[in-house]
């Protein structure tokens, strides 16, 4: 091998190594943001390779429009080069793909940088070792460059496989924290309230905490710590001796998860806020979501259900037949045991048909979630006669329909943590109710993880924005097609939320209002 060939080989090797490292940084960040779900590699590779415009519910003209990305071009170059045995082009296409693709998926991360936890480091090391072994084995072939080239392109597959390989180790590691949490719950022996729902569970949890705060000795799982790792951490770090009530938010991505949480954090009281198409992409159907949420009732002696939700209303006879005590709650259902009726900025609270409170409503709070929290508080011994002052202490939930006035004079509704059809409708109603004389604008990337419903729900969302007399600013390209179609091509497009905020600041002023509806981290296209 001549000196020139050696130099070129070294440069090619360095380029492939840099491409592999760049791909690892990108996809490790996606894996971490998706809670180390190995199947997320496949889903997000599909999202970035071909934006999701081909839903079965989309018009045929839209489904036929298959966008060509840089990844597609480089893949074609790779295949042709392999067939023609043009190894220089094979290597160059792999280096180019590794360094810059998928176009727009940042290496460092704008909204969600990598956090080098023990688990992430373990996955990264194992994936790199596997890649090196395959590369070394390929060095003995007649075309030694194919193995490292394949590793650059196969990083998502590598991370999928290595995450699955490490799953038994992670399970054993997680059991240590779960066992500590189980022992802590048994030692402190609080009354455990478990709250779940496709949406509304965090709000209901926070409202219940506010209602019980004056009684003291109440602890709630923080923020959205609602899976095994988050809930066990919340218990191990926050469940102090003498805690009277522990409020545990419980989420799920699939059947069996809530049942497993209740096994080591068994609830006396279960609260279910809603059943809807959140995480439908993972769960498959509303029936699966329904069954997964019902698991929270299996160990509870008392169940609070939101009977405004037609699916949850069907739970009531089933639960009664199982011998559970059921307390129904809602805002629209006349025969709900606990009902919060919102009228002209006030809440009228009825318990078993009797009015027990009539207070000013807290802007941005959903009356149904408040009703569920009140029902749970009553089951925990709160006197109905004390509800009025307690309700006045309810606080808006961060990033959920919070209304503030910006320094520019623009009224801002921060609903960036809500991402489902029901909350979107409520946020639009709130936007319409604001006393503004100027423009109303909705900034959104749309709703995600709705499976086959995603195209149609986002199209309807855009139509609802227009029906409320608002303008639409679409962020990113995940749902750009249905939102643009629904807005009759009248929507403005920006790539990032920062660009949208800059546009709002330069175009809106006193007398205007803006709704920031949902916010996607930058591992979404």
Q: What is the DSSP string of 211-262?
A: HHGGG--EEE--TT--SHHHHHHHHHHH--TT--EEEEE---SSTTHHHHHH
As a whole-number percent, the residues of the chain with pLDDT over 90 amount to 65
Q: Are 307 and 336 in contact (CB under 8 A)?
A: yes
As a whole-number percent, the residues of the chain with pLDDT over 70 amount to 96
Checking if the pLDDT of 56 tops 50, the result is no
* Average pLDDT over all residues of the chain: 90
Render pLDDT for 310-346 as a digit per residue (tens, 0 to 9). Answer: 999 999 999 999 999 999 999 999 999 999 999 888 9
Mean pLDDT, residues 369-390: 95
Q: How confident is the model at residue 85 (pLDDT cuts 50, 70, 90)?
A: confident
* Long-range contacts formed by 383-391: CB under 8 A, 24+ apart: 384/351, 384/356, 384/357, 385/356, 387/211, 387/349, 387/356, 387/357, 388/356, 388/357, 388/358, 388/359, 390/210, 390/211, 390/214, 391/211, 391/347, 391/349, 391/357, 391/359, 391/362
**What's 402-517's CATH class?**
alpha beta
Closest residue by Cα to residue 346 from 401, 391, 396 = 391
Mean pLDDT, residues 132-138: 93
- 3 state SS of 138: helix
Summarize the chain as % helix, strand, coil (round to 5): 50, 15, 35
Highest mean pLDDT among 183-197, 410-424, 426-440: 183-197
Weakest-pLDDT range from 278-287, 393-402, 430-439, 516-525: 393-402
Mean pLDDT, residues 253-282: 92
What are the residue boundaries of the structural domains of the chain, listed by start? Answer: 3-165, 171-391, 402-517
Q: What is the pLDDT of residue 284?
A: 82
Q: What is the pLDDT of residue 13?
A: 85
Closest residue by Cα to residue 204 from 123, 296, 103 = 296
- 3 state SS of 53: coil
Checking if the pLDDT of 254 tops 50, the result is yes
Mean pLDDT, residues 351-370: 91
Checking if the pLDDT of 277 tops 80, the result is yes
Q: What is the pLDDT of residue 449?
A: 85
Mean pLDDT, residues 348-356: 94
Mean pLDDT, residues 258-286: 91
Higher pLDDT: 348 or 110? It is 348
Q: How confident is the model at residue 423 (pLDDT cuts 50, 70, 90)?
A: confident
Higher pLDDT: 185 or 477? It is 185
Mean pLDDT, residues 65-87: 81
Q: What is the pLDDT of residue 67?
A: 64
Other CB atoms within 10 A of residue 320 CB: 12
Q: How confident is the model at residue 474 (pLDDT cuts 50, 70, 90)?
A: very high
Half-sphere exposure of 227 (CA within 13 A, CB side): 10
Checking if the pLDDT of 470 tops 90, the result is yes
Checking if the pLDDT of 462 tops 90, the result is yes
Q: What does the alpha-carbon distance between residue 525 and residue 520 come to, in Å, rounded to a whole number?
A: 9
Q: What is the pLDDT of residue 51?
A: 55
Q: How confident is the model at residue 170 (pLDDT cuts 50, 70, 90)?
A: very high
CATH superfamily of domain region 171-391? Mur-like, catalytic domain (3.40.1190.10)
Q: How confident is the model at residue 63 (pLDDT cuts 50, 70, 90)?
A: very low
Residue 100's Cβ-count burial label (10 Å; 0-12, 13-18, 19+) is middle
Checking if the pLDDT of 441 tops 70, the result is yes
Q: How confident is the model at residue 86 (pLDDT cuts 50, 70, 90)?
A: confident
Residue whose entry in the numeric block shows the structure tokens 């415009």 = 53
Checking if the pLDDT of 54 tops 50, the result is no
Q: What is the pLDDT of residue 488?
A: 86
Mean pLDDT, residues 458-475: 94
């Amino acid at each position: 091998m001549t000196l020139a060939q050696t130099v070129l080989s070294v440069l090619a090797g360095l380029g492939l190594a840099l491409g592999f490292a760049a791909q690892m940084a990108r996809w490790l960040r996606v894996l971490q943001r998706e809670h180390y779900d190995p199947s997320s590699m496949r889903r997000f590779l599909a999202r970035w390779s071909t934006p999701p415009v081909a839903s079965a519910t989309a018009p045929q003209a839209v489904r036929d429009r298959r966008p060509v990305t840089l990844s597609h071009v480089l893949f074609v170059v790779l295949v042709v080069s392999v067939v023609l045995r043009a190894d220089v082009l094979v290597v160059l296409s792999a280096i180019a793909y590794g360094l810059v693709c998928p176009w727009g998926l940042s290496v460092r991360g704008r909204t969600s940088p990598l956090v080098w936890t023990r688990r992430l480091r373990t996955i990264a090391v194992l994936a790199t070792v596997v890649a090196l072994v395959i590369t070394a084995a390929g060095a003995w072939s007649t075309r030694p460059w194919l193995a490292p080239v394949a590793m650059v392109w196969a990083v998502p597959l590598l991370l999928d496989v290595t995450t699955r390989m490490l799953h038994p180790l992670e399970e054993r590691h997680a059991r240590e924290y779960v066992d500590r949490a189980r022992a802590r719950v048994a030692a402190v022996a609080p009354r455990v309230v478990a709250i779940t729902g496709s949406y509304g569970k965090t709000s209901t949890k926070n409202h219940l905490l506010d209602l019980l705060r004056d009684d003291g000795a109440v602890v709630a799982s923080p923020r959205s710590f609602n899976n095994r790792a988050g809930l066990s951490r919340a218990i191990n770090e926050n469940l102090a001796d003498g805690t009277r009530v522990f409020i545990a938010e419980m989420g799920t991505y699939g059947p069996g998860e809530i049942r497993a949480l209740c096994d080591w954090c068994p609830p006396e009281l279960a609260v279910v806020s809603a059943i809807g198409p959140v995480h439908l992409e993972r769960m498959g159907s509303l029936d699966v979501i329904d069954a997964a949420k019902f698991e929270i009732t299996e160990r509870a002696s008392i169940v609070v259900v939101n009977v405004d939700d037609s699916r949850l209303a069907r739970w009531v006879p089933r639960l009664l037949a199982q011998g559970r005590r059921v307390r129904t709650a809602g805002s629209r259902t006349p025969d709900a045991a606990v009902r919060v009726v919102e009228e002209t900025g006030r809440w009228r609270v009825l318990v078993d048909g009797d009015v027990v409170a009539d207070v000013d409503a807290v802007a941005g709070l959903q009356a149904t979630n408040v009703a569920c929290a009140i029902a749970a508080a009553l089951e925990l011994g709160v006197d109905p006669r004390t509800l009025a002052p307690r309700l006045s202490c309810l606080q808006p939930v961060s990033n959920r329909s919070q209304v503030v006035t910006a320094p520019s004079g623009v009224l801002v509704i921060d609903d960036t943590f809500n991402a489902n059809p029901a909350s979107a409708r409520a946020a639009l109603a709130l936007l319409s109710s604001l006393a503004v004389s100027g423009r109303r604008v909705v900034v959104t990337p749309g709703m995600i993880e709705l499976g086959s419903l995603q195209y149609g729900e986002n199209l309807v969302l855009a139509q609802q924005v227009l029906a409320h007399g608002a303008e639409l600013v679409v962020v990113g390209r995940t749902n750009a097609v249905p939102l643009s179609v629904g807005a009759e091509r009248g929507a403005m497009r920006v790539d990032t939320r920062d660009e949208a905020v800059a546009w709002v600041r330069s175009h809106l002023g006193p007398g205007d209002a803006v709704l920031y509806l949902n916010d996607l981290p930058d591992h979404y296209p």
